[in-house]
A and B are shown apart, each in its own frame.
Chain A
C-alpha cells in the first residue's frame, strides 16, 4: 500500500544473543523488516519465538551485560544499535515509545499518573511543572480517561487495569513519537476493555500518523488493528505480508497452522487442527528449516537452510515450497 514511502524504521539482519551458564544462545537470527510512516505492523508467533526481544532490542532495552545484538536498526539515518546510552535516552519516549502487557509493573507505584506523564515531558521538552501538569490532563483526556483533572493526581493502584493501560498509552504518546511499540498491550485485559484499547490505538495512530509495531500472539487483534504482519518462528521471520493476504492465503505452513488452530474458525465440536510438537529451544536449534519437525509439508530438501523468498512485491516467506503449496488460511 505504501511501498513507495521511505521506511521509518529499517531493521536489518537482527541477531540477538544471550549469555547463559551453558554458553551463548541465539534468540533471533537475521530478523529484517521495515516499518513505514503511519503503518501498523503486527508481529505474531507463539511464546519463545523472539517477538518480545525483537521489540526490546530496538530501543536498547535488553540487559547489556547478558546480551549481544548484531545487525542494524536504522532510524532517521542512524543505527540505534550504535548509539550511546545518552543518545538512546533522547530517542526513547520521544521519537519511539513502548508500552507493555502489564501496566502495573511498568508504572511506578509511588508517583501519581500526572507526575509520570510530566516526567517524560520535562525530560524531553524541558517544560515547567505547572505546564507539564496541564499537558498531562490533556493527554489523559485524549486517551479517554474520564475526569482527567482528578485522575491526574491519582496513583496507579487507584486505577483499573484498563485505565492503567490508557495511562501507559498517554505517557507513551505525550511527546508525539513517530513509532509506538506495543508488546501484548491488551493480553491482560477483558475482551470488552481490549476492544476499547484497540480502538484507541487505532484512532490515535490514524490521527497522529504514529506508526505502530504491535506484538501479539492473537491473530484476531492483528486482523483488526494492523496493515502488515510478520510471523516469527523460533527466532526467525518466516512470513512478512499484508494482513489480508496472509489471512486469506498464508505462504508459510506455520502461519497457516496458527490460523487453523483458532477454535472459532472450526466447526463447533470438531477436532481442532493443531500443530504437533513445540518450538525448539534456542540451545538446540535444528539446521535447515526450523519448522521442519512440526511441518506436514516437509521434504528432504527442507534440511537445507531456507531463505526468505519473495512471494510478490510486498510479500516474503521462508519456505522453498511457498509457490507450489496451497495452504488453508482463515477461510479453509
Chain B
C-alpha cells in the first residue's frame, strides 16, 4: 500500500529583513507516513515542527523538495480541485481560543465547513454538526453557546469537531493538548485514540511533550533546527535513543517518580537552539552536543537507516548514547 504522506527533501524557507536573510524553518526532511498510524514529531521551539505540519496540509508551499499526498502531487491540481483535495488533510491548532470566531455560536462554527462544501439542506447540515459535537463529547446544549462560555478543553473539542465534519483522512495535531491541564489532556488523548479507531484517521502529532508523544505515537521523529535527527518506533526511540539529541531531550524531561526510582543523572544541554538563519556547519546539533568532534563541524552526517526502520543523522549514532534514565 502506498503512503498517505511522502516528503522528499522537503524545504520551507522564509525570507526576512526585506529578503536579505533566509530562515530555513524546514531544511531537507524526508519521511513517509503509513495509513492509520500516529506519527509523532518532537522538538524544541524553533525546530520547524509547526512549519512542517503546515506544509503537510498545504498551508505552506514547499520552497524546494516535494510533498505527495496519497501518491499525488497536490500542487499539480488547479484551484477548485486543489481545494477539494485539501479537505482530506486537516489541521487542529494549539490555541483553542484563536481558532474559533468569538461572535459565532458553536453550532455555526462547526457547520461552517459544510456550508462552504454546500452539501444538503441547512437543516441537514445543522443535524450533522450537532451529531459530530455529540461524538466529541459535547451535548446538544453546547451547540447554542458562544466560545467564551466554554472551557479550554471544550473549545478544543469543538475544533476537533469542525475538522471531523469533513471526514478527513489525515489530521495534523499541532500542540493540541499543550494548553490543557493534565486531567483534561488525558481525556483529549483518549478521544483522539477513539476517533482514530472509529474513522481510520492518520495523525501527524506535533508536540514538545515527550510523555504525550510516546504515549500516542506509533513512530516518532525528532526534529532539530529544520532537520530530522532521528526517526523510529516510539518504544525504540524512548528506550534506546541513537542520537545524542534524543537522549538529551529524554533526559531533560522531569519525571514524576519518587527519588529512589530516578537515576538522577540528567544530561543538561548547554546553550540554546541556534538561529535557523545561519545554522552551524556540518551537524546542526554539534554546538550543543557533548560528543562533538572535528568531523561534526566539517561534514554533515548522512540520514541513514542504521537498523530496519530506524533512521538517524549522526556520525557516531548508537555509539555514544547510553539508553534512558529510570
Contact = CB atoms under 8 A, between A and B. Distances in A.
Given A194-B254, A272-B189, A46 B215 contact: no
A243 B262 CA distance: 13
Given A192-B44, A217-B182, A273-B186, A259 B256 contact: yes
4 nearest A-B pairs in the assembled complex, by CB-CB distance: A220-B254, A264-B211, A263-B215, A274-B186
Contacts of B272: 160, 162-163, 193
Chain A binding site: helix, strand, loop or mixed by DSSP? helix
Contacts of A269: 193, 215-216
Interface of A: 46-47, 160, 162-163, 190-196, 198-199, 217-225, 243-244, 247-248, 257-259, 261-266, 268-269, 271-275, 278, 330-331
Given A244-B258, A264-B210, A274-B187, 14 more contacts: A46-B184, A47-B181, A191-B252, A196-B269, A217-B182, A220-B255, A222-B256, A223-B255, A262-B186, A263-B216, A271-B193, A272-B190, A273-B186, A274-B186
Interface residues of B, number: 43
B20 interface: no
Given A257-B183, A272-B215, A274-B190, A265 B256 contact: yes
22 contacts: A46-B183, A190-B44, A191-B44, A191-B253, A192-B248, A195-B254, A195-B266, A217-B181, A218-B254, A220-B253, A220-B254, A220-B256, A222-B256, A243-B259, A263-B211, A264-B211, A264-B256, A268-B235, A269-B193, A274-B183, A275-B183, A331-B258
Given A192-B248, A274-B183, A278-B184, A264 B255 contact: yes
B123 interface: no
B208 interface: yes
Contacts of B45: 190
Nearest to B211: A264
A239 to B, nearest CB: 15
Contact of A224 (B193, B209, B215, B255): B255
Contacts of B257: 223, 247, 330-331
A26 B212 CA distance: 34
Contacts of B254: 194-195, 198, 218, 220-221, 223-225
B268 interface: yes
A293 to B, nearest CB: 13
B258 A268 contact: no
A258 B187 CA distance: 12
Nearest to B183: A275
Interface of B: 44-45, 151, 153, 181-187, 189-190, 193, 208-212, 214-216, 234-235, 248-249, 251-262, 266, 268-269, 272-273
A263 B189 contact: yes
Contacts of A221: 254
Contacts of B266: 195, 199
Contacts of A163: 272
Contact of A261 (B186, B193, B214, B251): B186
Nearest to A196: B268
Contacts of B234: 268
A222 B254 CA distance: 8
A257 B266 CA distance: 27
Given A219-B256, A268-B235, A274-B190, A258 B216 contact: no
Contacts of B214: 263-264, 268
Nearest to A329: B258
B90 to A, nearest CB: 22
